[in-house]
Amino acid sequence: MTREVLLVLHSGRATNRRTAAAVAHRLAASGVRLRVLGDEWAEVEDGTLPNGLEPRIVDGRPGCAEGAEVVLVLGGDGTLLRAAEMARPVGVPLLGVNLGRVGFLAEAEQESLDGALDAVVEGSYAVEERMTLDAVARVGCDTVLARTWALNEATVEKTSRERILEVVLEVDGRPVSAFGCDGVLCATPTGSTAYAFSAGGPLVWPQVEALLLVPSNAHALFARPMVISPDSEVAIEVDPAGPSAVLECDGRRTVELPPGARVELFRGATPVRMVRLDGQPFADRLVRKFDLPVRGWRGAPHTGP
């Protein structure tokens, strides 16, 4: 039985397309077939691949990664979030190779692509599960507007630039705070380095299970980021007398929220599985991705056995 890897590509750059062609040749030479999205692969100059392993075309719908060993993502964080939609329903792990700028979700950089491909061919990698969020948007008790999910964050944001969004926050069935704002984010630890970080939230190590609540430009004295239990249930209620709002999950899935809508958020039933290659500490990733100054560090004395 032929092994397969689903390739998801940011095809908007010529260098990315050339990289994808090289990946296809490398994997085919090792007996691994690519599964590809037709519109992306049409832009790649691949030629004839070794072993007759021409790519298999799929449509990119959720679950299209079923049967693949890995989803190999060539691009930035946006490309990986798109690939997560295809991989999450069927539990296939994601391996991100950053061809963009920060690419915080990626496990490898372009210069380490060869090593990442070796790991795929040899099956020498670990897989970790990342917590997700499930979201339910409703009006009243009986009308469900949508059910969706997020890997990074779910945000309730205003749609009118001129109006302030009035919200009430609820945690575990109890009101916590009410204020006017541009929006409220509920993020996972994975999402703590994304939009939540830009809004003033804390960085959370991926191994920590928690939910983050981060107000955006809130008009209130008590509107600080909160770290709460991963098993808590959060609700964000939109003022019925105020403007409409929008629920966005990972910037990809959008639900229009009328005045009076309620968004309920809780730990996702299905995690996203991510490939780990070298076990690099999260602190090292922070330093590398954010170019943090560490000059002068001498290290702690060794006190172990």
Per-residue pLDDT reduced to its tens digit, 107-131:
999 999 999 999 999 999 999 999 9
Q: Which two tokens stand for residue 132?
A: 């997700």
CB atoms within 10 A of CB 108: 21
CATH 3.40.50.10330 in the chain is located at 3-130+271-290
The two beta strands, 272-276 and 126-130, are: antiparallel
CA distances from 204 to 86, 196, 208, 286 (A): 26, 11, 7, 11
Decide if pLDDT at 302 tops 70.
Answer: no
Q: What is the mean pLDDT of residues 30-44?
A: 93
The whole-number pLDDT of residue 290 equals 85
- Separation of alpha carbons 234 and 212, rounded Å: 10
Q: How confident is the model at residue 158 (pLDDT cuts 50, 70, 90)?
A: very high
Q: How confident is the model at residue 305 (pLDDT cuts 50, 70, 90)?
A: low
Mean pLDDT of the chain: 93
The whole-number pLDDT of residue 185 equals 97
- Separation of alpha carbons 167 and 190, rounded Å: 25
The whole-number pLDDT of residue 201 equals 94
- Separation of alpha carbons 198 and 180, rounded Å: 19
248-265: per-residue pLDDT in tens? 999 999 999 999 999 999
The whole-model pTM stands at 0.92
- Residues known to be catalytic: 77
Where is pLDDT greater, at 290 or 92?
Answer: 92
Where is pLDDT greater, at 33 or 222?
Answer: 33
**The CATH number of domain 3-130+271-290 is 3.40.50.10330:** yes
Decide if pLDDT at 104 tops 90.
Answer: no
The share of the chain scoring above pLDDT 70, in percent, equals 99
Q: In what order do the strands lie in the sheet containing 183-187?
A: 226-228, 211-216, 183-187, 153-158, 245-249, 253-257
CATH number for 133-267 (one of 2.160.10.10, 3.40.50.720, 2.60.200.30, 3.30.572.10): it is 2.60.200.30
What is the secondary structure of the chain as a DSSP string? --EEEEEEE-TTSHHHHHHHHHHHHHHHHTTEEEEEEHHHHTT----SPGGG-PPEEE---TTTTTT-SEEEEEE-HHHHHHHHHHHGGGTPPEEEEE-SSS-TT-SEEGGGHHHHHHHHHHT--EEEEE--EEEEEEETTTEEEEEEEESSEEEEEES-TTSPEEEEEEETTEEEEEEEESEEEEE-TGGGGTHHHHTTPPP--TTS--EEEEEES-BSSS---EEE-TT--EEEEE-TTS--EEEEETTTEEEEE-TT-EEEEEE-SSPEEEEESS---HHHHHHHHHT---TT---PPP---
The whole-number pLDDT of residue 221 equals 77
Q: What is the mean pLDDT of residues 93-116?
A: 90
CATH 2.60.200.30 in the chain is located at 133-267
The HSE-up count of residue 194 (CA atoms within 13 Å, CB side) is 26
The whole-number pLDDT of residue 100 equals 77
